[in-house]
Amino acid sequence: MKCPYCDNSDTKVVDSRPTDEGQTIRRRRECEQCGRRFTTYEKIEEIPLIVVKKDGSRQSFDRGKVMNGIIKACEKRPVPMADIEKIVDDIEKGLSNLMLKEMDSSIIGEYVMEHLRELDDVAYVRFASVYRQFTDAESFREEVEKLLDHGKTKKKR
């Protein structure tokens, strides 16, 4: 690390400590030439995720949109906000683990449905009805039957 005072490239780390709940490392450095101290911060470089919508348009991933969609699906249901936040955290982590720069919105929707299926049946059906754009009662019935079948196999485990 180059000294900001004398441009010398020989500096040593005097102290390191985590900040921001371990997301950033704060380092106190000392210049070997002029002896002055300065602080640097080291953090993980996050790759922005671009979401490709159904119409082909692209936009940055927005955690808030995922959160709002889940909150709407869970409205008037006995689902604690902490569970919703955990789902959004898990989805965001799962998406970043894919290491993709661009991703179809359908992948995100499937992640949300997978988590809601485990959390609350009614919230799952609500989200599915919007996400899958049910056009008639038959498609709605088919989704509920899949959910019921999933519940039966879950109980057998």
Residues 61-86: tens digit of each pLDDT: 999 999 999 999 999 999 999 999 99
pLDDT attached to residue 145: 76
In terms of C-beta distances under 8 Å and separation of at least 24 residues, what long-range contacts does 57-62 make, across chains too? 58/102, 61/95, 61/103, 61/108
pLDDT score for 149: 74
Which residue is listed with tokens 């709407």? Answer: 72
Query: In whole numbers, what is the pLDDT of the chain averaged over residues?
Result: 86
Give the phi and the psi of residue 83 in degrees, each rounded to 5.
-65, -40
- Does position 57 have pLDDT exceeding 90, yes or no? yes
pLDDT at 154: 55
**Are the CB atoms for 29 and 14 separated by under 8 Å?**
yes
The full 3-state SS of 99-116, as one line of letters, equals CCCEEEHHHHHHHHHHHH
The C-alpha atoms of residue 87 and residue 72 are separated, in whole angstroms, by 14
Question: Is residue 112 within 8 Å of 127, Cβ to Cβ?
Answer: yes
The residue ranges of every structural domain in the chain are 11-43, 50-156
Helix (H) and strand (E) counts for the chain? 5, 6
Whether 157 shows a pLDDT value over 50: the answer reads no
